[in-house]
Amino acid sequence: MKVAVVGASGYAGQELLRIAGSHPDLEVVLATGDSAAGARVATHAPALAALYPDMVFAPTSELSEHDVDVAFLALPHGQSQNWVPELVARGVRVIDLGADYRLKDPDLYATWYGAQHRSRDLLGAAVYGLVERHRSELVDATLVAVPGCYPTATALALGPFFDAGVLSREGVIVNALSGVSGAGRAASERLHYPRLASNAEAYGLLTHRHTPEMQQELGAELLFTPHLVPISRGMLVSAYARPLDADLTSDGALALLADAYRDEPFVVVIDEPPTMKDPVGSNLCFVSARVDPRTGWLLAMSSIDNLVKGAAGQAVQALNVATRREETTGLARAGVTP
């Protein structure tokens, strides 16, 4: 398949280039990046030099001139809407890593993203690309909305419990730690090394834009607090909810997760708490759970690489399913260790 990676100069776009370069069925024929247009991919991202020794970033406007089968859009929120209607009309399969087609209620975009949605007619056509929860819907999908990194980790941790009807859908609390790459490649004072190093901070208090996405996927009311920590990549979620079943135990919670993910190639259920390090470099998600007999709360935990399972890897996984390929094609099932 001929592939365009739009926004390829950013971290998620670079990760798409890395994964696509090892995928037997994907040929990247266009990599766009307006801030890096004219620069060689190998110069901008030396780690990709062996895969793309001569490729040059093109301006995004060149997307209209290329005949491609698939367009991966790794653009800031609001920008995918400039391209998706045209691409869909041309018969190009679109895998959108941005936020523009994730929410089904168009009014939520005005509330959480500060602008009216400009292609509401396509919201209903977009399939949410969390494969473990929407696999059957993704088969033959032509417009895929790849979930955000926080919603991915949160939904994989909590989803089986809500599906089983054992949790209250009110008062859910989600705390998450994310590596700096989740903030994007652009420099800022908050990401300046002297401020970031040996530091940690909460951000997006009460207003983080992934909140409605989590609520939509889980059908629950939740309070979400993300934290930035000084590592390059990785994500760790700790989520708290009230069980409806007073007899639910830690062993029962782990058994429920193990049953839900028994046949999933990228979800690993473990007894011990997951760490941020274990999934780095892979498309894996590690999940675990505990029930506290003293307070009665369920604690569900998960960890992912925010750039792989939280972005580019999940996008390729969704494409594999949409095109009826083996789901694991081109994707790592082992993290980098140590």
Out of 4, 95, 103, 149, the active site residue is 149
pLDDT of the residue at 22 = 93
Low-confidence ranges of the chain (pLDDT < 50): none
CATH topology of domain 2-146+309-322: Rossmann fold (3.40.50)
pLDDT tens string 121-161 = 999 999 999 999 999 999 999 999 999 999 999 999 999 99
CATH superfamily of 149-305: Dihydrodipicolinate Reductase; domain 2 (3.30.360.10)
Strand pairing category for 172-178 and 235-241: antiparallel
Q: Tell me the pTM.
A: 0.96
**And the tokens for 155?**
């939904």
Burial class (CB in 10 A: 0-12, 13-18, 19+), 170: exposed
Q: Which of 93, 83, 41 is nearest to 63 (CA)?
A: 83
**What is the chain's alpha carbon radius of gyration, rounded to the nearest angstrom?**
19
Instruction: Please name the residue that has the structure tokens 């950013």.
Output: 10
**Domain map (residue ranges) of the chain:** 2-146+309-322, 149-305
pLDDT of the residue at 184 = 78
285 catalytic per annotation:
no
pLDDT of the residue at 301 = 98
Strand pairing category for 93-96 and 70-73: parallel
